[in-house]
Structure 1
Amino acid sequence: MTSKKSAPSKNKSGKTKAEKAGKGKPEEKRTTGRAPAAQVPGQPAPPVLEAVQKAVPEAAVSPAVDAGDRERLLHGTHHDPHAVLGAHPVPGGVAFRAFRPYARAVTVLTGDLRADLHDDGDGFFSGLLPLAGVPAYRLLVTYDGAVHETEDAYRFLPTLGELDLHLIGEGRHEQLWQALGAHVTTHQGVTGTRFAVWAPNARGVRVTGSFSFWDGTALPMRSLGSTGIWELFVPGVGEGELYKFEITRPDGSRTLRADPLARRTETPPATSSVVHASHHEWGDEEWMARRGDTPVHEAPFSVYEVHLPSWRPGLTYRRLAEQLPAYVREMGFTHVELMPVAEHPFGGSWGYQVTGFYAPTARLGTPDDFKYLVDRLHQAGIGVIMDWVPAHFPRDEWALAEFDGRPLYEHHDPLRAAHPDWGTLEFDFGRREVRNFLVANAVYWCEEFHIDGLRVDAVASMLYLDYSREPGQWTPNEHGGRENLDAVAFLQEMNATVYRRCPGVVTVAEESTAWDGVTRPTHHKGPSGFGGLGFGLKWNMGWMHDSLQYMSHDPVHRAYHHGEMTFSMVYAYSENYVLPISHDEVVHGKRSLVSKMPGDWWQQRANLRAYLGFMWAHPGKQLLFMGQEFAQGAEWSEAHGPDWWLLDPSYGAEADHRGVRDLVRDLNARYRSTPALWQRDTDPAGFQWISGDAADDNVLAFLRLDAEGSPLLAVCHLAPVVRHDYRLGVPEDVPAWLEVLNTDAGGYGGGDVTNPDVVKPEPQPWHGRPASIRLTLPPLATVWLRPA
């Protein structure tokens, strides 16, 4: 510490004569800091503290940072900077130490005392004040052309408590995002941002950002015990500041990383994390209170799958909130399913290669903007499902890959870490902290963003050790099997935690194999010996593949493929199913849904309408990807989205595309008002075949029954001819039937071959039933009838 007086002359040894003799006035003993308070030019001299006037004991120590600590701080490898920097009681008083690279001077301000610290070189400043205890103080830091008064980040206690650290260490912190990441807060009476990151292999971690001119040298973080957590409270840092973590790897090299738990990011291709605080006030209390009233598998569930950036290209979250809820409500869907919203660097991945698991993509707005969209959908009576991607992550060097210099989020075995199909890395599901990161992430979207369901991507790739791997490229589990036991345990934990914490939420598995018990409760073991995975619903990929394969055949050949339409009923009640026509079926040369159909344009549309009628009547929930609801002919492209111009009346689309759109709207309306179509989706008693073997006629006929036994009769005729007086057996206790939907109706673009009158049964047995009716079956059409 220096005073404002000129320094006394020194001899060749660098010491003053008085110092060498062990004598001198107190203000001349610079190493002990026994100086009066410095006077600020132009202001009255501040009062000198009484303690300063007393003699300092001869046992006083040098306040300067010692060589070892200095070296570690300079090289970013110090694990406990708070033990060195800041203010600390020492023999002789309180030692003040500051590390401010590029500063010309640092002054301590406490009460009426102003005391300059000694410049120790390399950005280090120190001084010893003969105080009885550590006071409240601030720092006045002078740079070339600027003076800043600020709090000292190294005078604060840790912002994480013992409970947080214990739960993190156990891998059981279910609200991990509240402990780690960046949080604007008031700590010890001072407002700033607390930063915390998991990096157990790091030799040191520093936080850097726009608030430090991207030089993290002066902001080293402290390690909090054996948890691998590094923490720092930085006073004065607020919302909107950019930041990253500068990590010193075990080999001494450095890497600059985005925050794995950042709740907001820069807009790609920029990669910084953003300090965020939410200010959204929810208005969906009514929705949230009643969304869990009926279990999803017993409720109507008709899903419109959306890729937000391309649904209406150029719209932000808030602009989407003005249009999407109104459209989905008009179309009658109960839910939207959003393709991945979490931040991802490459738009061409459609969000399936995530780097920011806790941040909605900044391409469309802020996290509060996304909350506003969800809020508006809820207020319109529409549930929100979100694609969630816990299977893998990309290798970007600024993100999760070898985050602290060694495999951390990925498996340490390269064969287990590398995903063979996508060039990405698989999570290490056996590491408790990684499981915690993912389980808490699932909870985060449901609790913080009011998401009503998570559709979990690529479940099969997690479940099997040999997924897309050849012999020799994988190692069996401890029982000699191919099951990834770690992934099984993770999925069970995730589902159990989400269902316990978030009533009314549903999890949906995209699982493409016949894994036993995907939607069985986790505590119920099946024949395989595994407990159920605990999902609420599962995509029925078999139904999707078989039915589309059947529909792609020319009707003249369909008789030989009839089983492709009926086989799904063999296993329809083995799981709780969703029937998905998703984005995956209308890209990469697979053609759009209508373009998969055979025949000329009229026949293609008729086939599509008949197929949709069959899909909405089949046991299971429905999912349809955007653009297919109006028979878009081209494959989907994320660059321009659906061809909305096809619905423009000036295009003459009334009978073409608008007709199909109107059919989907009416299917949803009839579906929602007919409990037989959804109330017993998972109960075999809710389905009865009338005719499942009329292959030569290309006819499928079946009953759906609600909880009271009230039926709906669905008849699918997939041949391009009219069949008059087609006889079907029916229950004898229904006195008359009324056609309530016909996909060949003229308003949908069909030939308008209908059954306009009430149809009464005849006492002639048919199809093993005591009564029967005669119908006119339109070409390539599905007809629904209910009791009149």
Structure 2
Amino acid sequence: MTVRPPSRRPVAAPPAAARETVGPADPAEPVAPGGAVAAPGAAGAPAARPAPPLPDETRARLLAGAHHDPHTVLGARPVPGGVLFRVLRPHARAVAVVAGGRCAALRPEGDGLFAGVLPLGAVPAYELRVTYPDATLTVRDPYGFLPALDAAELRLLSEGRHEQLWLALGARVLTHQGITGTRFTVWAPNARGVRVLGDFNHWDGTAFPMRSLGSSGVWELFLPGVGEGELYKFQITRPDGSSTVRADPMARRTECPPATASVVDVAHHEWRDGAWTAARGTRPPHTAPFSVYEVHLPSWRPGLTYRQLATQLPAYVQDLGFTHVEFMPPAEHPFGGSWGYQVTGYYAPTARMGTPDDFRSLVDALHRAGIGVLIDWVPAHFPRDDWALAEFDGRPLYEHPDPARAAHPDWGTLEFDYGRAEVRNFLVANAVYWCEEFHIDGLRVDAVASMLYLDYSRPEGGWTPNAHGGRENLDAVAFLQELNATLHRRCPGVVTVAEESTAWDGVTRAVHEPGAGGLGGLGFGLKWNMGWMHDSLGYVAKEPVHRRHHHGEMTFAMVYAYSENYLLPISHDEVVHGKRSLVSKMPGDWWQRRATHRAYLGHMWAHPGKQLLFMGQEFAQGAEWAERHGPDWWLLDPSYAAEPDHRGVRDLVRDLNRGYTAAPALWERDTDPAGFAWVAADAAEDNVFAFLRFAADGSPLLSVSHYSPVVREGYRLGVPDTVAVWREVLNTDAVRYGGGGVGNPGDLTPRPVPAHGRERSLTVTLPPLATLWLRPA
């Protein structure tokens, strides 16, 4: 993981006139005899008596940022003979208390402390008048407020059951005790002390220590007057007394990388997708059309903001007929080259393209265009950047305390401690957050296999078995089950998709149903079919003359097709790092490559399972994807000589999606074995795969894929005797797609000639390197 530099705003002493937030608009002025405004401590203003001195140990802890309860030292409280006021303002010349229309100067105690006892019967409503060398400011005292987090929320936090964690932790603008400001809260149970830094105190947190809220491990401070848009971080005193400055793990907005500060945020977006969200839960995703366009937002059209994307992306996806988009991880990440898979800001959309409200506008626009939105979500690991989550409060906190368990063996990152209730809460609530606050329709959970196995990528002897002597990560299993159960309960219609590359049993079974090792199902809605992807790409990459020896690689997926609810992915992972783009994987000349590309897509859309295609592959981009410049849109420019070739592939994808959505046989019984039947599964010498798909009412669709570069005329296929006439509804060799135009115009009538175990059959012409779809006329 590349470590980015810290925020450009270093922690440093502020100028003499440190900026503070002004309190209410009518601060009381000290009134001198005769009505003139008096300076603090002037004649006519009550004088403060000396305050009892602070114990040396208390003073040292306070100044070192290691006091667990600064509100017992600072602020105002009754004492014998009056009210004691104590204020910490390191760069002030003088501090006075303004209350009841009068002003009293506090006495300097050194080290920026000012204190005094006023002859008052009770603690009044008061403000502070702070005089710097070049300015005098009237402010509310942060240490005059009770905790702004109630006991019920703290109990939920301690138990790891706060499903809307973002309402309790982080920076939240609210009105507390009648005053508007921002409540800062952070979970740091190992810290000796925590202070808030920000633009509002010129990144010097000395005067802003937070209080510990008991055994919860949460630190809190309400700062009156601080509001939306302010930058901030937390300065944490570690158990060994050293100090670290950290971004807020719960920040809902961040600076644009490489800057790393958190930003106080308030949502203002007014959603207009009510019809979409109300309808999305009416049909389970595995019995509905589900065709996904995978997008890397920063590079789809490089330089566009979220709001600019909202004017272009929905129209493009809608025109192509995809039902959903999937965004590669949109959460904040410091290194763009990680594509979002090394997250530091789990609760903040990346600031590279705008604000959280801007991101909401993009999701809203997609929903109003009838397009669902999935996001990649990365709970498997996080980077080691020293301003983020790693050893957040000086000890392992989000990561596992065992270094061998914490270190991810492949990516140089850290794995979450799924056995800790607060960490599970952080992640489960984060999933809920994206779905509730941003109306996300589904999460594709990254690297699930690395979470499930204790020995994942670890050598023999490099891992410790679980309590039962097995290799299953019991904590991760429990976390995934809790994740899915919580999401499905709170967010009807939301789908979770597992990127899981092993044979783990029960990934898409309900958590109360049997699963691997008697642990129960994981509860996902869909699972990426990595086996189909690997085998099918291996087959089409072979020269046609050799494909007959690998025929089983294309049929094997049907052996396990109904063991899970599958999605067929041709994702970004398959078109980077030397793997070549989809069309470039195909052998032969340019015509053969494009033809095989088209045939493969037609085969994929007809195969049981949902489908996902990464951007650029919808128009047969020849180059690998690179995040620096995104898809090669210039290939579609009419001035480019080969443009019809690429536009033809894009037209095919449009027709595949529209034909798919219009044919319930292709999606209604995706998880039902009765929805599929082989016609020709063993035609290895011909490189032919033919199968039937059936809708719930029994209506069929016949798909025939031919992976040889020759025309086969009079090819006989056994068909159900319930259909009198068939018609070709899709042919990937059509001229408009860039093909040769070989096909089957008109009606196709079966004859009483047995074939493939059926009493009737029809004969068709198979174009070279093409897929045909036939439906009842």
TM (norm. structure 2) is: 0.94
**Counterpart Cα distance in 1 of 2:394 and 2:190:** 7
- Does residue 745 in structure 1 map to residue 734 in structure 2? yes
Residue 156 of structure 1: CA displacement? 0.2
Pick the aligned partner of 1:598 from 570, 587, 602: 587
- Does residue 644 in structure 1 map to residue 633 in structure 2? yes
**Counterpart Cα distance in 2 of 1:583 and 1:408:** 32
**Counterpart Cα distance in 2 of 1:753 and 1:122:** 88
**Counterpart Cα distance in 1 of 2:37 and 2:554:** 94
- Does residue 700 in structure 1 map to residue 693 in structure 2? no
Aligned residue number for residue 460 of structure 2? 471
Pick the aligned partner of 1:682 from 658, 671, 675: 671
Contact 2:380 2:446 (C-alpha < 8 Å) held by counterparts: yes
Specify the SS of the correspondent of 1:425. Answer: coil
- Paired residue type of 1:145: D
- Does residue 257 in structure 1 map to residue 246 in structure 2? yes
- Does residue 625 in structure 1 map to residue 614 in structure 2? yes
Deviations 1:622-648 (A, max 9, x none): 000000000000000000000000011
Residue 132 of structure 1: CA displacement? 1.1
Structure 1: runs of 5 or more not aligned: 1-36
- Does residue 357 in structure 1 map to residue 336 in structure 2? no
Specify the SS of the correspondent of 1:660. Answer: helix
Aligned residue number for residue 768 of structure 1? 757
Pick the aligned partner of 1:129 from 99, 103, 118: 118
Pick the aligned partner of 1:401 from 378, 386, 390: 390
**Counterpart Cα distance in 2 of 1:220 and 1:397:** 21
**Counterpart Cα distance in 2 of 1:257 and 1:47:** 38
Pick the aligned partner of 1:75 from 64, 68, 72: 64
**Counterpart Cα distance in 2 of 1:612 and 1:122:** 72
Q: Which has the higher contact order (CA 8 A, sep 6+)?
A: 2
Pick the aligned partner of 2:159 from 166, 170, 188: 170
**Counterpart Cα distance in 1 of 2:33 and 2:467:** 73
Pick the aligned partner of 1:100 from 71, 79, 89: 89
Pick the aligned partner of 1:292 from 271, 281, 292: 281
Deviations 1:522-581 (A, max 9, x none): 011236211000000000000000000000000101111000000000000000000000
Deviations 1:337-370 (A, max 9, x none): 0000000000000000000000000000000000
Deviations 1:9-29 (A, max 9, x none): xxxxxxxxxxxxxxxxxxxxx
Aligned residue number for residue 18 of structure 2? none
Deviations 1:363-390 (A, max 9, x none): 0000000000000000000000000000
Aligned residue number for residue 507 of structure 2? 518
**Counterpart Cα distance in 1 of 2:46 and 2:260:** 54
Sort the Cα spacing of 1:256 and 1:234 in 2 relative to 1 into closer, same or farther, 3 A: same
- Does residue 735 in structure 1 map to residue 735 in structure 2? no
Aligned residue number for residue 555 of structure 1? 544
Specify the SS of the correspondent of 2:357. Answer: helix
- Does residue 388 in structure 1 map to residue 409 in structure 2? no
Deviations 1:591-618 (A, max 9, x none): 0000000100000000000000000000
Residue 39 of structure 1: CA displacement? 3.6
Aligned residue number for residue 499 of structure 1? 488
Residue 136 of structure 1: CA displacement? 0.3
Contact 1:64 1:126 (C-alpha < 8 Å) held by counterparts: no
- Does residue 427 in structure 1 map to residue 416 in structure 2? yes
Pick the aligned partner of 1:662 from 651, 655, 659: 651
Residue 653 of structure 1: CA displacement? 3.2
**Counterpart Cα distance in 2 of 1:191 and 1:61:** 32
Specify the SS of the correspondent of 1:220. Answer: coil
Aligned residue number for residue 577 of structure 2? 588
Sort the Cα spacing of 1:605 and 1:44 in 2 relative to 1 into closer, same or farther, 3 A: closer
Sort the Cα spacing of 1:655 and 1:673 in 2 relative to 1 into closer, same or farther, 3 A: same
Residue 236 of structure 1: CA displacement? 1.1
- Paired residue type of 2:699: S
Specify the SS of the correspondent of 2:375. Answer: strand
Residue 473 of structure 1: CA displacement? 1.2
Residue 657 of structure 1: CA displacement? 0.5
**Counterpart Cα distance in 1 of 2:113 and 2:53:** 8
Pick the aligned partner of 1:368 from 324, 332, 357: 357
Aligned residue number for residue 439 of structure 2? 450
Matched length:
747
Deviations 1:424-458 (A, max 9, x none): 00000100100000000000000000000000000
Specify the SS of the correspondent of 1:528. Answer: helix
Aligned residue number for residue 20 of structure 2? none
Aligned residue number for residue 191 of structure 2? 202
- Paired residue type of 1:649: P
**Counterpart Cα distance in 1 of 2:371 and 2:485:** 25
Pick the aligned partner of 1:436 from 418, 422, 425: 425
- Paired residue type of 2:625: W
Contact 1:38 1:115 (C-alpha < 8 Å) held by counterparts: no
**Counterpart Cα distance in 2 of 1:45 and 1:643:** 71
- Paired residue type of 1:286: A
**Counterpart Cα distance in 2 of 1:550 and 1:52:** 90
**Counterpart Cα distance in 1 of 2:239 and 2:516:** 47
Q: How does 1:171-186 map to 2 (within 5 A)?
A: 171-186=160-175
- Does residue 283 in structure 1 map to residue 276 in structure 2? no
Sort the Cα spacing of 1:335 and 1:44 in 2 relative to 1 into closer, same or farther, 3 A: closer
**Counterpart Cα distance in 1 of 2:368 and 2:46:** 70
Specify the SS of the correspondent of 1:615. Answer: helix
Aligned residue number for residue 336 of structure 2? 347
Specify the SS of the correspondent of 1:386. Answer: strand
**Counterpart Cα distance in 2 of 1:739 and 1:46:** 93
Specify the SS of the correspondent of 2:257. Answer: coil
Contact 1:61 1:91 (C-alpha < 8 Å) held by counterparts: no
**Counterpart Cα distance in 2 of 1:131 and 1:769:** 100
- Does residue 608 in structure 1 map to residue 600 in structure 2? no
**Counterpart Cα distance in 1 of 2:720 and 2:170:** 62
- Does residue 414 in structure 1 map to residue 407 in structure 2? no
Deviations 1:219-265 (A, max 9, x none): 00000010100000001111111100000000000000000000000
Aligned residue number for residue 36 of structure 2? 43
Sort the Cα spacing of 1:100 and 1:769 in 2 relative to 1 into closer, same or farther, 3 A: same
Residue 84 of structure 1: CA displacement? 1.2
Contact 2:635 2:643 (C-alpha < 8 Å) held by counterparts: no
Residue 471 of structure 1: CA displacement? 1.2
- Paired residue type of 2:165: L
Alignment root-mean-square deviation, CA: 1.8
Specify the SS of the correspondent of 2:116. Answer: strand
**Counterpart Cα distance in 2 of 1:66 and 1:612:** 76
Contact 1:576 1:682 (C-alpha < 8 Å) held by counterparts: yes
Sort the Cα spacing of 1:421 and 1:75 in 2 relative to 1 into closer, same or farther, 3 A: same
**Counterpart Cα distance in 2 of 1:237 and 1:529:** 52
Sort the Cα spacing of 1:138 and 1:284 in 2 relative to 1 into closer, same or farther, 3 A: same
Residue 733 of structure 1: CA displacement? 1.1
- Paired residue type of 1:421: D
Residue 53 of structure 1: CA displacement? 9.4
**Counterpart Cα distance in 1 of 2:63 and 2:577:** 52
Aligned residue number for residue 30 of structure 1? none
Larger radius of gyration: 1
**Counterpart Cα distance in 1 of 2:536 and 2:419:** 38
**Counterpart Cα distance in 1 of 2:114 and 2:430:** 42
- Paired residue type of 2:756: H
Pick the aligned partner of 2:262 from 267, 273, 292: 273
Pick the aligned partner of 1:227 from 216, 221, 227: 216
Contact 2:529 2:567 (C-alpha < 8 Å) held by counterparts: yes
**Counterpart Cα distance in 1 of 2:752 and 2:735:** 33
**Counterpart Cα distance in 2 of 1:378 and 1:38:** 61
Contact 1:38 1:116 (C-alpha < 8 Å) held by counterparts: no
- Paired residue type of 1:782: T
Residue 655 of structure 1: CA displacement? 3.2
**Counterpart Cα distance in 2 of 1:46 and 1:639:** 61
Sort the Cα spacing of 1:44 and 1:356 in 2 relative to 1 into closer, same or farther, 3 A: closer
Contact 2:50 2:115 (C-alpha < 8 Å) held by counterparts: no
